[in-house]
Amino acid sequence: MAPAKAGSLSISKEAEEFLKANPTYERLAQAGVEAYARRLRRLDELTRNSALTEEDAIELGRKTRKAMHARLSKE
């Protein structure tokens, strides 16, 4: 793997060579990572003062799946 620069992600040497040889893909990959980072920052902002615990989230997911299964089973 290529050595990681400060504040960057480490990628394999093969991936690094491919991206250097194909600048369009490099720009697409960079744009994708930047969009993902923006989504994570927004999620952090939304959840910063949240009172929802991990257990609450798991229970909410269970209830949602159970309700979806019940609705789909009726069809």
Q: How many domains does the chain have?
A: 1
pTM of the model: 0.46
Please give the Cα distance from 55 to 57 (Å, whole number).
5
Domain interval for residue 28? 13-74
Condensed to tens digits (0 to 9), the pLDDT of residues 14-66 reads 988 888 888 888 888 888 899 999 999 998 888 888 888 889 999 999 999 99
- Domain assignment present for residue 59? The answer is yes
- Domain assignment present for residue 19? The answer is yes
Please give the Cα distance from 20 to 18 (Å, whole number).
5
- Domain assignment present for residue 1? The answer is no
Please give the Cα distance from 71 to 51 (Å, whole number).
29
Question: Which segments of the chain does DSSP mark as H helices, in order?
Answer: 13-21, 23-47, 54-74
- Domain assignment present for residue 7? The answer is no
- Domain assignment present for residue 3? The answer is no
